[in-house]
Amino acid sequence: MVMYYTDETIVYLNGDWIKAADAKTSVYSQSLHYGMSVFEGIRSYEIDGKAHLFRGKEHMERMIFSAKAIGLPFKMQADAMMNIAHELLERNKITAAYIRPLVFASPMMSLSFPEEAQFMMCCWAWSKLLGDKLTKLAISPYRKNHPQSIKTEAKVGGHYVNSILAATEAKSRGYDDALQLDVDGHIAECSGANFFIEKDGVLFTPSRGHILPGLTRDSVLQLCKRNKIEVKQQKIAPHEVFAADSAFLVGTAAEISGVQSLDDQSFKKPWASSIGFNLQKEYEAATRSTHEWERVVYL
């Protein structure tokens, strides 16, 4: 089993700082039974010896948005959450980390919005999710949840059953990750990352609707704007991916990762001469500097 903590690790739980090993929650939590939880994944990078949360406040705001979207009563402000995140890193003496805030429900078995929410935050050292090697993707038989069935743009625990089914199915066939379609058969996203293709010097990425519109996706869009790289947000059919010059996936954990192949068909352009490769280098530099981003507003 992977261990995310040691005997020394400290977590934040409902206002207290406690050892991870001593953190307890009820087995009657509505979140355990029905997936009623929301969470975030944030990376902190070390800049001049200090921890810097990459677009941290926007991640916290997205969690507030997610909680509201599914009726979890969570009242904390993003600034207070940022303070907790910084203290968490200090207490665990770690600067480059992955930070995981989670809002979950109190004991309740009924299918209604919970009256109380609980808040936990933990962190661990986590290197690049997929490493520097190129990713081999497979088109998944598991389609993304339909936006008329769930709150697509909220980062909800229960949604990730769909991601787990897709990722494990792809891995069982020897691939690194799944590329999932929406119910109409257009490209949506990977199990835990957004997806871009390059064709004739232009980038394409699925438009909003069937995806979690990630902050990394937004960072890539902003970097493209700055570099005058054309990006089209539109519906993409699988055959257009097979005809693309290159492809990459983007997300907090994955950062920007080049894709080698889809269903064993390699992309034509060598990764090192693709637009994605240049963006990967820029993103790497931007995450390790106090680069200013246009803020995303979550409603």
Is residue 56 a contact point for ligand PMP (CB under 6 A)?
A: no
Is residue 252 a contact point for ligand PMP (CB under 6 A)?
A: yes
Instruction: Tell me how far, at minimum, the Cβ of 65 lies from ligand PMP, in Å.
Output: 12
Say how many residues touch ligand PMP, by CB under 6 A. Answer: 13
- Beta carbon nearer to ligand PMP, 91 or 143: 143
- Beta carbon nearer to ligand PMP, 62 or 136: 62
Return the residue of 41, 157, 206, 276 that touches ligand PMP, per CB under 6 A. Answer: 41
- Beta carbon nearer to ligand PMP, 81 or 212: 212
Return the residue of 194, 274, 280, 287 that touches ligand PMP, per CB under 6 A. Answer: 194
Instruction: Tell me how far, at minimum, the Cβ of 254 lies from ligand PMP, in Å.
Output: 8
- Beta carbon nearer to ligand PMP, 189 or 282: 189
Rg of the chain taking only CA atoms, in angstroms: 19
Is residue 214 a contact point for ligand PMP (CB under 6 A)?
A: yes
Q: Which of 24, 128, 155, 228 is catalytic?
A: 155
Taking CB under 6 A as the binding criterion, the range among 27-35, 171-179, 199-207, 214-222 that sits at the site for ligand PMP is 214-222
CA 79 → CA 58, 60, 241, distances in Å? Answer: 10, 8, 40
- Beta carbon nearer to ligand PMP, 27 or 297: 297
Return the residue of 153, 176, 177, 189 that touches ligand PMP, per CB under 6 A. Answer: 189
CA distance 266 to 264: 6
Is residue 140 a contact point for ligand PMP (CB under 6 A)?
A: no
Return the residue of 56, 101, 192, 206 that touches ligand PMP, per CB under 6 A. Answer: 192
Is residue 276 a contact point for ligand PMP (CB under 6 A)?
A: no
Return the residue of 215, 231, 244, 279 that touches ligand PMP, per CB under 6 A. Answer: 215
How many other C-beta atoms are found inside a 10 Å radius of the C-beta of residue 59? 25
How many other C-beta atoms are found inside a 10 Å radius of the C-beta of residue 164? 12
Instruction: Tell me how far, at minimum, the Cβ of 26 lies from ligand PMP, in Å.
Output: 26
| DSSP states along the chain | ------TT-EEEETTEEEEGGG----TTBHHHHH--EEE--EEEEEETTEEEETTHHHHHHHHHHHHHHTT------HHHHHHHHHHHHHHTT-SSEEEEEEEEE-B--SSS--S-EEEEEEEE----SS-SSPEEEEE-SSPPPPTTTS-TTS-BGGGHHHHHHHHHHHHHTT-SEEEEE-TTSSEEEESSSEEEEEETTEEEEEPTTSS---HHHHHHHHHHHHTT--EEEE---HHHHHT-SEEEEEETTTEEEEEEEETTEEPSS-GGGSHHHHHHHHHHHHHTTT---PPPPP-
- Beta carbon nearer to ligand PMP, 163 or 260: 163
How many other C-beta atoms are found inside a 10 Å radius of the C-beta of residue 100? 18
Taking CB under 6 A as the binding criterion, the range among 19-27, 99-107, 212-220, 276-284 that sits at the site for ligand PMP is 212-220
Query: Does the annotation count 155 as an active-site position?
Result: yes
Active site residues: 155
Which residues of the shown chain bind ligand PMP in the complex (CB under 6 A)?
41, 163, 189, 192-194, 212, 214-217, 251-252
